[in-house]
Amino acid sequence: MQVSVIILAAGQGTRMNSDLPKVLHHVAAAPMLHHALATAHSLEPSRIVVVTGHEGQAVAASATAYSEAVDCVVQDPQLGTAHAVAQAAPLLADVEGEAVVLYADTPLIREETLRKMLEARSRHAVVILGFHAKDSGRYGRLLTKNSNLLAIREYDVATEAERAITLCNSGVVCAEASLLLSLAAEVKDNNPKKEFYLTDIVEIARARGLSAGVVLCDEAETLGVNTRAQLAEAEAAFQTRARAEMLENGVTLTAPETVFFALDTHIGRDAIIGPNVLFGPGVTVESGSEIKGFCHLEGCHISRGASVGPFARLRPGAELAEDVHVGNFVEIKNAILDEGVKVGHLTYIGDADIGEHTNIGAGTVTCNYDGVMKHRTRIGKRAFIGSDTMLVAPVTVGDGAMTGSGSVITEDVPAEAVAIGRARQVTKPGLATRMFEKLKAVKAAKAKGQ
């Protein structure tokens, strides 16, 4: 089935009280727009059109950053949802098959729901996504008879009897692409706000002798974000759903309510995630790995059997091979750790390549930044880096080599060599006692002077 998706992302979102366009506010470490794009991509569409408006350049840049295949079009002025859909018409003039309308400020719509709508197209020319609301508020109401949708009544023009209906409109629409654009073009602005409402296409379709129907979903799925409070609700709803899915897929969460996932987090079965772990964007954890408590991960890949934490931070570009151990208070950034590497504690590894089964002692730092440029540290296989070693990049430590504890390594270390780069220790017998007595006398003299 060929599908096109139109994502409406033109709104200003004044109730967010923000300089940032509403659809670029984050849920699960990603702009809400990206949630809509991810759902759209799950349908394997032939074309995606994002309709921008307020701060359109920023919104378009975010859309194309997600996928260069996305087309963007500007709605200016912004005259309502049907007018927004009509702006996509030139980009969809040659497409065949179905079209789905999504909203960039409604980040929780599921692929399964959209596929139900596409399946319902075999029975109805226009399919609307509806839900039963606990508090119907100012939602548009769906007027139905048997399995047919008769009309969508906006709250402002609804009668008291219609306002009592709990079946509400999510705004999500599915129809054959050319039909959708034809219906949108017929919508009039004969309403108090003088806007072109996409909801009017139901009655226009029925006037043509076409049927309309409703597919239902849970109310939580249709949550639209217009305020900071609703943004927090969307975050909580996403995390609740993501935790349930992880558990269902065979991931152990020892304290699920304390773990936070990103939109694109991928975790394999039999992985163990401890309490208070935060996943930023771009994280993959393979099967059988363990992330212990209080870790922060983003832009990294953790292979089978690896162990991370507690209290570790993996930053973008961190690549951990199988059976790597990264311990407490360790930070890894833009570094590749080969199989069996151990970095136990209190260490920074940045811009580095570390060979298999190498041991990195406590307090080691790869000194990768000279104030202008970043430089790389390369450590070979089965090397032993002593505690408190400063590796001043660019520098290479060969296979099987060793550095002495407390060393500052500024030159390459050949394979199987030992490098010691520290000042010779000088011991002065009795000097400590004499120094303390002198300092105490100075302190007493100052106290008398006061």
Nearest CA-CA partner of 198 in 173, 222, 221: 173
Overall average pLDDT of the 195-220 stretch = 96
Overall average pLDDT of the 59-88 stretch = 96
- Mean per-residue pLDDT over the chain, rounded: 96
Beta-bridge partners for 297: 279, 314
- Residue 37 and residue 181: Cα distance in Å, rounded? 21
In the DSSP assignment, the letter for residue 317 is T
Q: Tens digits of per-residue pLDDT, 218-242?
A: 999 999 999 999 999 999 999 999 9
Residue 132 has a CB neighbour count (10 Å cut-off) of 14
Nearest CA-CA partner of 55 in 31, 40, 75, 26: 75
**Percentage of the chain exceeding pLDDT 90:** 93
pLDDT score, position 13: 85
- Residue 235 and residue 427: Cα distance in Å, rounded? 60
Q: What is the separation of C-alpha 26 from the centre of its chain, rounded to a whole number of angstroms?
A: 8
Nearest CA-CA partner of 412 in 379, 450, 449: 379
Beta-bridge partners for 384: 359, 402
Domains and CATH numbers, the chain: 3-222 (3.90.550.10), 228-419 (2.160.10.10)
3-state helix, strand, coil in the chain (%, to 5): 25, 30, 40
pLDDT above 70: residue 205: yes
pLDDT above 90: residue 102: yes
In this structure, are residues 325 and 338 in contact, taking their beta carbons and an 8 Å threshold?
no
Nearest CA-CA partner of 170 in 117, 128, 135, 138: 128
User: How does residue 80 score in pLDDT terms, banded at 50, 70 and 90?
Assistant: very high
**CA distances from residue 81 to 48, 152, 194 in whole angstroms, order as listed:** 17, 14, 12
- Residue 269 and residue 55: Cα distance in Å, rounded? 41
pLDDT score, position 450: 65
Q: What is the separation of C-alpha 266 from the centre of its chain, rounded to a whole number of angstroms?
A: 11
Q: Tens digits of per-residue pLDDT, 158-199?
A: 999 999 999 999 999 999 999 999 999 999 998 888 999 999
Q: Tens digits of per-residue pLDDT, 379-425?
A: 999 999 999 999 999 999 999 999 999 999 999 999 999 999 998 88
Nearest CA-CA partner of 62 in 31, 85, 83, 108: 31
Amino acid in the structure at residue 228: R
Overall average pLDDT of the 87-95 stretch = 95
> Which listed residue (296, 345, 357, 375) is catalytic?
345
| Secondary structure class of 161 (helix, strand, coil) | helix
Tokens of 59: 């919104």
- Residue 15 and residue 79: Cα distance in Å, rounded? 19
345 is catalytic: yes
| Residue indicated by tokens 């900071």 | 228
More confident residue, 154 or 168: 168
Query: Which helix (H) or strand (E) segment is 39 a member of?
Result: helix 32-42
Torsion on CA atoms 374, 354, 294, 262, rounded to nearest 10: 70
User: How does residue 449 score in pLDDT terms, banded at 50, 70 and 90?
Assistant: confident
Long-range contacts of 181-185 (CB under 8 A, 24+ apart): 181/85, 181/86, 181/88, 181/89, 181/92, 181/99, 183/126, 184/82, 184/83, 184/85, 184/86, 184/89, 185/86, 185/89
Apex 211 CA angle, 210 and 215, nearest 5: 145
Q: Tens digits of per-residue pLDDT, 31-72?
A: 999 999 999 999 999 999 999 998 999 999 999 999 999 999
Q: DSSP strand E in 338-393: where?
A: 342-354, 359-360, 365-367, 377-379, 384-385, 390-392
Dihedral-angle region of residue 424 (phi above 0 means left; psi in -120 to 50 means alpha; beta otherwise) = beta
In this structure, are residues 317 and 335 in contact, taking their beta carbons and an 8 Å threshold?
yes
pLDDT above 80: residue 256: yes
In this structure, are residues 39 and 30 in contact, taking their beta carbons and an 8 Å threshold?
no
In this structure, are residues 112 and 218 in contact, taking their beta carbons and an 8 Å threshold?
no
